[in-house]
Structure 1
Amino acid sequence: MYRETGGPEVLRLVDRDPLVPGPGEVRVRIAVSGVNPTDGQARAGDGHAKTFPDVTPHHDGAGVIDAAGEGVDRSRIGERVWVFLAAAGRPTGTAAEFTVVPADQAVPLPGAAGFDVGAALGVPALTAHRALTVAEDGPGRLRPGALEGKVVLAAGGAGAVGHAVIQLARWAGATVIGTVSNAAKSVLATAAGAHHVVNYREGDPAAAIREIAPGGVDVVAEVALGANLALDFAVLRSRGTISVYANQGDRPVELDVRQHLVRNTRFQFIVLHTAGPRARSAAVEAVSDAVADGALPVGEAHGLPLLRFPLERTADAHRAVDGGAVGKVVVDVP
């Protein structure tokens, strides 16, 4: 937990009494906690107001429900679940032995899926679903065949969200292109399921993408809009969508409005916290179906290496994420 914002050094391991779930809540004994860039941003106070004296970080995790509050079916006790947005507007994130969340934010984890998969869902997978379902003529919820005939470009295909974009888009039937910066990341994007991978630092990436998709890309899931907008526009079809969930590098975005007017470009900016209950509910349902279908595996063989830290080294886990570690950083909770 942390009492003041700052670098990873503000994180402390403390003992406290187990949380008690209130009405409509469940308590989850956490097995694996997932770490995302937004967790570090909140800890650092970067655009996130600290509203509680003590904060336990991390939105995502997986474990077992061990207590249920009033109004929650007690048959859920003992259920394996994945947890999302645990620290959104609450001080009780998943970097702890126990967290308490609203019951609908603890989602049943199919028996074949391990806690590593569950901890890697949450922010990355739900954001990816949102990115793939905001097109004017696209589906509002993914399922097999929902993106049949569509071309999806996953910018930064070796990142956690890019990885989920590739997996979900392929599960939904799209042709998937990933862009990466080096050969090692190309291997990861291919392992995730991308049909084609383009190194944007070599040759003419726009020409390479246009060769794959002569009619243009339907949806771009964009992680660095300032750096990639020119490439996105060069490959986007008319009435195509650029779904923006980050601007890595913080390069200013220079927008030629006339070009995009003519193209009828749709820009959708995405933050999961404010996406609204309908979009989140559709994402949770679709992601759960994809997990049940075995479509969202993790690990290096599946394009998302896991970087593990014990709970007492959560600060080191944050340093890894802050430093741009490739793969999914997770914290094992004893």
Structure 2
Amino acid sequence: MKAVIYRAFGAAKDVLSVEEIATPAPGPGEVLVRVAFSGVNPSDVKARAGSRPGVTKPPFPEIAPHSDGAGVIEAVGAGVDPARVGERVWLWNGQWQRALGTCAEFIALPEAQAVRLPEAVSLEVGAVLGIPGLTAAQCVFGGGDVAGKTVLISGGAGTVGHLAVQLASWGGATVIATGSPKDFDKMRKAGAAQVLDYHSENLAADILAANGGTPVDAAVEVEFGTNIAVLAEVMAPNGRVAIYGSAKDMAPTIPFGPILFKALTLDVVLIYILPEAERAAAIAQLHGALDEGALEVPVGQVFAPEDAAKAHEAVEAGGRDGAVLIAF
């Protein structure tokens, strides 16, 4: 089968190559999926670049990257219902602690990691539901029902943030989203009741004013280190901050006093190790929103396998208007 492979850390153009490797066979409890689209996420490009803390060499001799994808089940292993053959599925954790991810014509993985795709949902959209979709769902709903609450979402125009705005709005929350002024219309269209410039020097005051002068109940945070002081000021007592990133400041100073006396919950979301019950709930929430037409999943660019390096570079460059995929 055709696969995109790397054997060493480095720049995408230096280490990624398209090769012919053996097609895997599904083991007991596994399915073999013919991949239609492989999703490229920031975590994938960081893993390929070797920028994860404490990781000095690739964990396997050769790696086909990417955890997200979508396709059709081609074959099943022992113990799997043969009726699943031909099923359209989306994939999660394709390359988590595994050598061969979704950036290949085929992938064999446990059948639970191949989720039946709702009938009306395209394979392109399916390839975005893994890391971005599940992260957004867990961030929004991981603390319980959000109906009637105010949810603050930072980076509301990014892939996860954009999905989170839509999911929170669908869940009955009033959404305040922060982002660049050029993305205000996008965030409003997604369901944000108020949109704010995240570069404002008075962001905390802006957030409180946008909520009628009262603190917010919950937050979804992409840059925890940068925004922790603002969060400490604007969160309501017993509020929950769902944190899925802090790239600009990986060793933040935390104002513990305000957090302590508000008894805030700092909930770090790492979707790769989400417990089974919570993952099942997040999948159900994503499918529910999709079934009701409440979730738009934009795809920005689609690349051929031979252009995988360009796909990685597009993700590294940031400022994407939608997900980046590789088509097989």
**TM-score scaled to structure 1, two decimals?**
0.90
Q: Which residue does 2:116 correspond to in 1?
A: 108
1:50 and 2:58 aligned? yes
Is the 1:170–1:176 contact (alpha carbons within 8 Å) kept by the matching residues of 2?
yes
AA aligned opposite 2:272: H
Q: Which residue does 2:307 correspond to in 1?
A: 313
1:327 and 2:321 aligned? yes
Taking the aligned partners of 2:32 and 2:304, their CA distance within structure 1 comes to 21
Q: Which residue does 1:272 correspond to in 2?
A: 271
1:97 and 2:101 aligned? no
Q: Which residue does 2:40 correspond to in 1?
A: 35
SS where residue 122 of structure 1 aligns? helix
1:130 and 2:135 aligned? no
Structure 1 residue aligned with 2:192, among 181, 185, 194? 194
Taking the aligned partners of 2:47 and 2:111, their CA distance within structure 1 comes to 24
Q: Which residue does 1:208 correspond to in 2?
A: 206
**TM-score scaled to structure 2, two decimals?**
0.92
| CA shift for structure 1 position 190 | 2.1
Task: Give a deviation string over 1:117-173, Cα, whole Å, max 9, x none.
Answer: 1111110111122212343xxx2xxxxxx3211111111111111112112111211
AA aligned opposite 1:216: P
Structure 2 residue aligned with 1:16, among 12, 21, 28? 21
| CA shift for structure 1 position 251 | 5.7
AA aligned opposite 1:6: G
Taking the aligned partners of 1:229 and 1:109, their CA distance within structure 2 comes to 37
| CA shift for structure 1 position 288 | 2.2
- Please list, as runs of the form range in 1=range in 2, the aligned pairs for 1:134-149 lying within 5 A after superposition: 134-135=142-143, 139=144, 146-149=145-148
SS where residue 311 of structure 2 aligns? helix
Task: Give a deviation string over 1:265-308, Cα, whole Å, max 9, x none.
Answer: 11111211223222222212222222222222223xxxxx5122
Taking the aligned partners of 1:80 and 1:184, their CA distance within structure 2 comes to 36
Q: Which residue does 1:258 correspond to in 2?
A: 257
AA aligned opposite 1:120: V
Q: Which runs of 5+ in 2 are unaligned?
A: none
AA aligned opposite 2:37: V
Is the 1:32–1:119 contact (alpha carbons within 8 Å) kept by the matching residues of 2?
yes
Taking the aligned partners of 1:64 and 1:163, their CA distance within structure 2 comes to 27
Structure 2 residue aligned with 1:25, among 7, 26, 30? 30
Q: Which residue does 2:74 correspond to in 1?
A: 66
AA aligned opposite 2:177: G
AA aligned opposite 2:205: A
AA aligned opposite 2:224: L
Is the 1:166–1:176 contact (alpha carbons within 8 Å) kept by the matching residues of 2?
yes
Task: Give a deviation string over 1:68-112, Cα, whole Å, max 9, x none.
Answer: 111111111111111111001111211111111211111111111
1:220 and 2:219 aligned? yes
Q: Which residue does 1:249 correspond to in 2?
A: 248
Taking the aligned partners of 2:305 and 2:24, their CA distance within structure 1 comes to 18
Task: Give a deviation string over 1:31-51, Cα, whole Å, max 9, x none.
Answer: 111111100111122225632
Q: Which residue does 2:8 correspond to in 1?
A: 4
1:75 and 2:69 aligned? no
Closer/same/farther in 2, CA of residues 98 and 186 from structure 1, 3 Å limit: same
SS where residue 100 of structure 1 aligns? strand
Taking the aligned partners of 2:152 and 2:24, their CA distance within structure 1 comes to 43
Is the 2:159–2:323 contact (alpha carbons within 8 Å) kept by the matching residues of 1?
no
Closer/same/farther in 2, CA of residues 251 and 72 from structure 1, 3 Å limit: closer
Task: Give a deviation string over 1:193-252, Cα, whole Å, max 9, x none.
Answer: 222211122463322321232332111111111111122222111111111111021264
Is the 2:163–2:297 contact (alpha carbons within 8 Å) kept by the matching residues of 1?
no
Please report the RMSD computed on the Cα atoms of aligned residues, expressed in angstroms: 1.7
Taking the aligned partners of 1:252 and 1:203, their CA distance within structure 2 comes to 22
SS where residue 22 of structure 2 aligns? coil
Q: Which runs of 5+ in 1 are unaligned?
A: 140-145, 300-304
Closer/same/farther in 2, CA of residues 275 and 312 from structure 1, 3 Å limit: same
Is the 2:218–2:241 contact (alpha carbons within 8 Å) kept by the matching residues of 1?
yes
Task: Report the count of equivalent residues.
Answer: 319
SS where residue 313 of structure 2 aligns? helix
Is the 1:5–1:44 contact (alpha carbons within 8 Å) kept by the matching residues of 2?
yes
Structure 1 stretches of 4+ moved >3 Å:
none
